[in-house]
A and B are shown apart, each in its own frame.
Chain A
Amino acid sequence: MSEFRMPSLGADMEAGTLVEWMKQPGDRLQRGDAIAAVETQKGAIEIQTYEAGVLERILVGIGERVPVGAALAIIRGEGEGEAVLEPVALASPPAAAPVAPPIEAAPLPRPVTAEIAPAQPPMAAIAKVAPPAPSPGARISPAALRRAQELGLDLSALHPAVDGVVGLREVEAARASSIAIVAGVPPPAAKKPAPAVPEPFAAPPPPLQPSPIAARPGLDLDEMRKAIAAAMARSWREIPHYFVSSTLDLTPMLAWLERNNAQRPVPDRLHYAAPLIKAVALALKAVPVLNGHHGEHGFEPATSVHLGIAVAMRGGGLIAPAILDADTLALADVMAALNDLIARVRGGRLRSGEMTASTATLTNLGEGTADAVQPVIYPPQVAIIGCGQVIERAWAHDGALSARRTMTVSVGGDHRVSDGRSAAKFLARLDELLQHPERL
């Protein structure tokens, strides 16, 4: 028997709230299976087991907040016998029940049968812990539901638009009228347009007014901002950063990509992020002091390259799940992995493995943004790669001048582990790789 515990899903996570059991007592578990979904500052994340066996017992109910390290369930390993006391344990009073997570006012474990929720699609998990929907027959958009909950609005008091749907506009109107009542001022004019953050993965955006556009269901952007602030403050406090940059000629890679995409059917086309990710992963593999974790025992280089991809959230905020073994994947598989990550950042759930595995991170500002970024390392990693937008520049080469599409790539490195020379070596290798995209 072993305890399945609340994992730490980031440098500064203290606790998570259980929102769904995805496996039930008696279910067989394979390594990597998602067992439960947990609400964190980064939204709802599926937590996975690294032990095969059978889910013996669930110790925590839906809606309970559980500190990192506390037991969530008991797993019977493969080959272990049935627990003799199982039926007793299930029905026993708190004294014989598993220890409750040590948090204030946490309810004692109740008989698990009463707590098990039916399997539900990911989006429904949030609705389950949410208050009832507005007036019967009316629907509410997921973004509007989240916003209304954030604002603490009474959902039954929301008035749907003519199409019967409560959207963000209706939520904002309800908020405005409640403010107007309190402050005695007329409601403000229509909502401001959301700022554009036009790339799949981008550096932390500048401070913004809370945006009316919501992110994933279950995500509290204020909480996410706190999590980013805590991680970055820790990074700046503990890591002696250095920054090294080079401007690379991306023309060969982009031209190769365009030629290939013209031959490919729509679903098989590659975004330039795919060869960029692959090349960054290969270059990291060549410079091991930029790839790994810095922990209690100093630097531990990683043997694999699990590249965290910073994805900007609608409405602000940032999340950086990993593409596992990015250096070994074919470009089509990198593209598929990226697609899958972005789909789940936008409308699904990320998994604990990909939240904790990153051995380095890539942040790409993207089109219509800025030319360069000096990125801050996400602990316990020791390097972060930041890419500016692709921009056409006058480029001198072999004594002649031409217009080339270029990108400024910066490395934020950790002086406890490496120095600028290592980063320069990385950039030179990256440049070499991008000049021969057909070999990626």
Chain B
Amino acid sequence: MNDNDSDFARQVRTALYAIAPDLQGEPLDPNRRYRDQFEFDSMDFLRYVVELHRLTGVDIQESDYSQLETLAAATAYLRGRAAGQE
């Protein structure tokens, strides 16, 4: 299955649109940083991390933030964390 269509990817998209509702329906390049695609700033990013935590319950350390900067990376991160808990 294409990872970008997985439940993990859906959660990432949901978090993204929750904090940036104006981006809904916009094309989203899974491999480009939100900062480069959407002028995301560090406050936007923090709000996205909080939303991702709220949706998934995953406890995200600050040191992991750099793994959440694209749709593809965040999807892989959530998948990895879910696998680690099993």
Chain A interfacial positions (CB closer than 8 Å to B): 123, 139-144, 165-169, 193-200, 202, 211, 213-217, 258, 261-262, 265-267, 269, 271, 273, 312, 314-315, 338-339, 342-343, 346-347, 366-367
Contacts and interface: CB of A to CB of B under 8 A. Distances in A.
B60 interface: yes
Given A258-B62, A343-B19, A139 B25 contact: yes
A267 B21 contact: no
Contact of A193 (B37, B40, B53, B62): B37
Contacts of A261: 62
A338 B47 CA distance: 11
A315 B43 CA distance: 17
Given A199-B41, A200-B42, A269-B46, A142 B24 contact: yes
Contact of B26 (A141, A339, A342): A141
Contacts of A271: 42-43, 46
B5 interface: no
A221 to B, nearest CB: 12
Given A194-B39, A199-B41, A271-B46, A140 B25 contact: yes
A141 B24 contact: yes
A116 B75 CA distance: 45
Given A167-B25, A167-B26, A265-B59, A196 B43 contact: no
B66 to A, nearest CB: 13
A261 B35 CA distance: 22
Contacts of B25: 139-144, 165-167
A267 B39 CA distance: 22
Contacts of A217: 22
B21 A195 contact: no
A120 to B, nearest CB: 15
Contact of A198 (B22, B24, B41, B62): B41
Contacts of B24: 141-142
12 contacts: A143-B22, A144-B25, A144-B26, A165-B25, A168-B26, A194-B39, A211-B39, A265-B53, A266-B59, A312-B39, A314-B20, A339-B47
Given A200-B43, A269-B46, A269-B50, 7 more contacts: A167-B25, A167-B26, A194-B38, A261-B62, A314-B38, A342-B43, A343-B19
B46 to A, nearest CB: 5
Nearest to B50: A267
Contacts of A168: 26
Contacts of A142: 21-22, 24-25
A213 B38 contact: yes
A217 B20 CA distance: 11
A67 to B, nearest CB: 29
Nearest to B17: A347
Contacts of B62: 258, 261-262, 269
Contact of B39 (A123, A144, A197, A266): A197
B68 to A, nearest CB: 11
A196 B35 CA distance: 6
A349 to B, nearest CB: 12
Nearest to B18: A347
B37 A194 contact: yes
User: Which A-B residue pairs are the 8 nearest by beta carbons?
Assistant: A141-B25, A200-B43, A347-B21, A266-B53, A165-B25, A199-B41, A167-B25, A314-B39
